[in-house]
C-alpha cells in the first residue's frame, strides 16, 4: 500500500515578529522526509503556507491525504495545533504527525487530541516507522514517538539519508531568499555544535553531540543543486580548519562555483585568517557571527568562550576579505540606556551594517530557563511571542516600552538609516535594497506595536 502524505510548512502567527519579512528559506527538513519516503513508494506533496494564498482546507479537499506531517519552531506551536485541528475536522481518519526541533526538545507542548504522533528524535527514521505502522508492516510503536513521562530516546549520531527532494518545492523556489541572497538553497553538513553557550537551544536538539557528514558527500550534493547561492545551515560550519581547507580544495577540484552564507564563530575567524582568505577565493560571501556582546564579562556569563578583542579581530578579518558579517547580538535583561548606547558605539566602530538584536530569551530546555522563569511577562503558551524578538522577561532596570524603543532605535541607527541604505544600494542594487527595506519596515511596525502596547 502506498500512502499519500501531505507535508506542511506553517505560516507564522501575525503576532510573531517576523524574520520572514527579510528571509524565506526552503523547508529542507520536509524535503528530506519527502525523498526518503517516496523512495519507499509513498506519494508526497509539500505546501509552504508562508507563500501559499489558499487555505489548508483547499489542499485537503484537493489532495485528500492519508497522512499530514507538520513541522515548525517554538513560535509555530499554536499554529500547528490549529492546522492539526483543521485536518481532523476535515477527515478524522487522516493521521497527523508533528516533528521539528521544538517537538524534539519540548514534545509535551504539542499534546493535542488532534495530533496522533509527536516525533521526539531521529525525524526521518521515525517518520518512516510511523508510516510502516499505519500500513500494518510493523506492529510495535515507533521507538522515538513521544509518550508522556517516557524517557527521551537516544539520538542518532550519524546521518545516512537520501538527499532532500528540492523539486518538491519547485513552484516556490524562485521566492526563497535570505536578505540579499536571492534564490538561495539550503544544505546541512553537520549536526549540533561542539560549544556550550548557556542560552543556546541548538545544543539541546542533538543532546550536546556534534557530528558531520563527509565532505565528499556534501560536494556530491552541492553538484546537484541548481541555485548559485548556498546557505549552509549548520549551527557552526567553521569547525576544524583542516575540514574547511579540504572543503575549499574539493570545491576547486570539482569546479563548483557557488556563493556561500554560513554560520561561524568569531574565535575561529580570528585565529584562522588564512582559512577565510582561502574560502573567499572559492565563494564565501557572508558569515553570520554570534558576536553577542561588546562586554567580555557578559560573554563569560554566556559561556561564549570568546572576548571583545576576538570579536573585533573577527569583524576586521571579514571586512579585509570583503566577506559580509551578519552580527547577532543578545540584549541583556539588566541593560540601561547606557548599555544600548555602548553597543551602538561598538557596532559603529566595527562598521557593521547587518545586525540581529535579540533580547535574552530563556527558552525551555536551555540552561538559563529556570533562572528567569519567575520573571516571565509572556505566558509560556503564547508560543507565537517566543520568537527571540519579543521581550519575554521583565527587564531589571528599564520599562518594557523603553526596552523596545531602544531596540528600534538601535536597528534604525545601524541598519535602517540613509548611510547604510546607500552602502546596500551600491553593493546590492536598488531593487534588492528596496525589497529588504520594505521587509525591515514591516518588522519595525511590529516593534512599534509592542512599544505602544507596552508588552
Ligand atoms: S550559540 Fe553557537 S557556538 Fe554557542 S552553542 Fe549555540 S551554536 Fe554553538
Q: Is residue 349 part of a domain?
A: yes
Q: Write out pLDDT tens, residues 435-448.
A: 888 888 888 888 88
Q: Is pLDDT larger for residue 441 or for residue 294?
A: 294
Predicted local distance difference test score (pLDDT) of residue 202 = 86
Asked if 238 and 190 sit in the same domain, the reply is yes
Asked if 321 and 449 sit in the same domain, the reply is yes
Q: Which of 112, 135, 158 is a domain's end point?
A: 135
Across the strands, what pairs with 4? Answer: 43
Predicted local distance difference test score (pLDDT) of residue 257 = 97
Asked if 329 and 221 sit in the same domain, the reply is yes
- CA-CA distance, 10 to 96, in Å (whole number)? 14
Report the CATH number at residue 71: 3.40.50.280
Q: Which helix (H) or strand (E) holds 104?
A: helix 101-105
Q: Is residue 154 part of a domain?
A: no
Asked if 175 and 124 sit in the same domain, the reply is no
Residue 76, pLDDT > 90, answer: yes
Considering its fold, how many domains does the chain have in total? Answer: 2
Which of 176-185, 311-320, 381-390, 429-438 has the weakest average pLDDT?
A: 429-438
Asked if 178 and 289 sit in the same domain, the reply is yes
Place 152 in a pLDDT band, splitting at 50, 70 and 90.
Answer: confident
Q: Is residue 141 part of a domain?
A: no
Range(s) of the domain holding residue 353: 166-453
Rounded to an integer, the average pLDDT of 111-135 is: 97
Output the CA 276–ligand 1 centroid distance in Å: 20
Q: Which atom of ligand 1 is nearest to the CA of 201?
A: 6
Predicted local distance difference test score (pLDDT) of residue 439 = 83
Pocket test for ligand 1, best of 101, 105, 191, 202 (most atoms within 8 A of CB): 202
Q: Is residue 153 part of a domain?
A: no
Q: Which of 113, 135, 157 is a domain's end point?
A: 135
Q: Is residue 159 part of a domain?
A: no
Asked if 121 and 176 sit in the same domain, the reply is no
- CA-CA distance, 119 to 206, in Å (whole number)? 14
Residue 453, pLDDT > 90, answer: no
Asked if 94 and 207 sit in the same domain, the reply is no
Asked if 101 and 189 sit in the same domain, the reply is no
Predicted local distance difference test score (pLDDT) of residue 206 = 87
- CA-CA distance, 111 to 149, in Å (whole number)? 12
Predicted local distance difference test score (pLDDT) of residue 138 = 86
Rounded to an integer, the average pLDDT of 354-364 is: 96
Q: Which atom of ligand 1 is nearest to the CA of 196?
A: 5
Q: Write out pLDDT tens, residues 33-71.
A: 999 999 999 999 999 999 999 999 999 999 999 999 999
Asked if 253 and 306 sit in the same domain, the reply is yes
Output the CA 239–ligand 1 centroid distance in Å: 11
Pocket of ligand 1 (CB under 6 A): 193, 195-197, 200, 202-203, 235-236, 265, 290
Predicted local distance difference test score (pLDDT) of residue 436 = 86
Output the CA 188–ligand 1 centroid distance in Å: 16
Residue with CA closest to ligand 1 atom 6: 200
Q: Write out pLDDT tens, residues 201-254.
A: 887 888 889 999 999 999 999 999 999 999 999 999 999 999 999 999 999 999
Which of 112-126, 265-279, 324-338, 419-433 has the weakest average pLDDT?
A: 419-433
Output the CA 263–ligand 1 centroid distance in Å: 10
Residue with CA closest to ligand 1 atom 7: 235
Predicted local distance difference test score (pLDDT) of residue 455 = 62
Q: Is residue 152 part of a domain?
A: no
Q: Is residue 127 part of a domain?
A: yes
**Three-state DSSP class for residue 108:** helix
Predicted local distance difference test score (pLDDT) of residue 440 = 82
Asked if 359 and 283 sit in the same domain, the reply is yes
- CA-CA distance, 282 to 58, in Å (whole number)? 45
Q: Report residue 174: phi and psi, to 5°.
A: -65, -15
- CA-CA distance, 268 to 311, in Å (whole number)? 10
Output the CA 391–ligand 1 centroid distance in Å: 21
Predicted local distance difference test score (pLDDT) of residue 435 = 86
Output the CA 301–ligand 1 centroid distance in Å: 14
Q: Is residue 281 part of a domain?
A: yes
Q: What is the DSSP string of 119-178?
A: B-S-HHHHHHHHHHHHHTS--SPPTTB--TTPPPPPPPS----PPP-GGGGTTTGGG-EE
Pairing of strands 23-24, 177-178: antiparallel
Output the CA 291–ligand 1 centroid distance in Å: 11
Asked if 185 and 127 sit in the same domain, the reply is no
Amino acid at each position: 500500500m502506498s500512502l499519500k502524505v501531505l507535508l506542511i510548512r506553517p505560516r507564522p502567527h501575525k503576532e510573531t515578529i517576523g524574520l520572514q519579512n527579510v528571509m524565506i528559506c526552503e523547508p529542507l527538513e520536509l524535503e528530506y522526509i519527502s525523498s526518503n519516503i517516496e523512495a519507499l513508494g509513498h506519494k508526497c506533496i509539500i505546501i509552504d503556507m508562508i507563500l501559499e494564498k489558499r487555505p489548508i482546507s483547499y489542499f485537503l479537499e484537493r489532495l485528500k491525504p492519508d497522512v499530514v506531517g507538520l513541522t515548525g519552531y517554538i513560535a509555530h506551536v499554536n499554529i500547528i495545533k490549529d492546522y492539526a485541528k483543521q485536518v481532523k475536522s476535515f477527515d478524522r481518519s487522516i493521521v497527523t504527525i508533528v516533528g521539528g526541533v521544538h517537538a524534539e526538545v519540548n514534545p509535551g507542548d504539542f499534546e493535542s487530541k488532534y495530533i496522533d504522533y509527536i516525533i521526539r528524535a531521529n525525524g526521518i527514521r521515525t517518520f518512516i516507522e510511523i508510516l510502516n505502522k499505519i500500513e500494518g508492516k510493523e506492529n510495535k510503536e515507533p521507538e522515538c514517538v513521544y509518550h508522556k513521562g517516557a524517557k527521551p530516546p537516544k539520538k542518532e549520531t550519524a546521518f545516512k539519508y537520501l538527499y532532500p527532494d528540492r523539486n518538491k518545492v519547485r513552484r516556490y523556489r524562485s521566492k526563497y531568499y535570505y536578505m540579499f541572497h536571492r534564490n538561495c538553497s539550503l544544505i546541512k553538513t553537520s549536526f549540533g555544535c561542539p560549544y556550550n553557550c548557556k542560552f543556546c537551544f541548538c545544543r539541546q536538539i542533538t543532546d550536546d553531540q556534534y557530528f558531520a557528514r563527509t565532505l565528499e558527500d556534501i560536494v556530491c550534493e552541492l553538484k546537484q543543486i541548481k541555485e548559485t547561492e548556498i546557505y549552509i545551515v549548520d549551527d557552526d560550519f567553521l569547525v576544524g580548519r583542516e575540514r574547511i581547507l579540504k572543503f575549499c580544495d574539493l570545491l576547486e577540484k570539482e569546479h563548483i562555483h557557488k556563493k556561500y552564507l554560513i554560520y561561524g564563530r568569531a574565535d575561529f575567524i580570528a585565529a584562522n585568517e588564512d582559512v577565510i582568505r582561502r574560502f573567499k577565493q572559492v565563494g564565501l560571501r557572508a558569515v553570520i557571527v554570534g558576536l553577542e556582546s561588546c562586554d567580555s564579562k557578559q560573554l563569560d556569563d554566556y559561556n561564549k568562550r570568546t572576548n571583545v578583542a576576538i570579536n573585533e579581530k573577527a569583524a576586521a578579518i571579514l571586512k579585509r576579505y570583503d566577506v559580509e558579517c551578519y552580527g547577532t547580538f543578545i540584549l541583556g535583561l539588566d541593560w540601561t540606556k547606557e548599555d544600548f548606547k555602548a553597543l551602538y558605539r561598538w557596532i559603529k566602530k566595527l562598521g557593521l551594517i547587518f545586525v540581529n538584536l535579540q533580547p535574552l530569551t530563556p527558552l525551555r530546555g536551555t540552561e538559563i530557563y529556570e533562572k528567569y522563569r519567575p520573571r516571565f511577562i509572556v505566558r509560556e503558551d503564547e508560543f507565537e511571542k517566543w520568537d527571540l524578538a519579543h521581550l519575554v522577561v521583565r527587564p531589571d532596570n528599564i520599562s518594557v516600552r523603553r526596552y523596545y524603543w531602544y531596540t528600534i532605535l538601535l536597528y534604525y541607527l545601524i541598519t535602517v538609516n540613509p548611510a547604510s541604505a546607500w552602502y546596500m544600494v551600491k553593493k546590492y542594487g536598488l531593487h534588492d535594497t528596496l525589497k529588504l527595506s520594505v521587509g525591515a519596515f514591516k518588522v519595525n511596525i511590529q516593534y512599534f506595536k509592542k512599544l505602544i502596547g507596552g508588552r
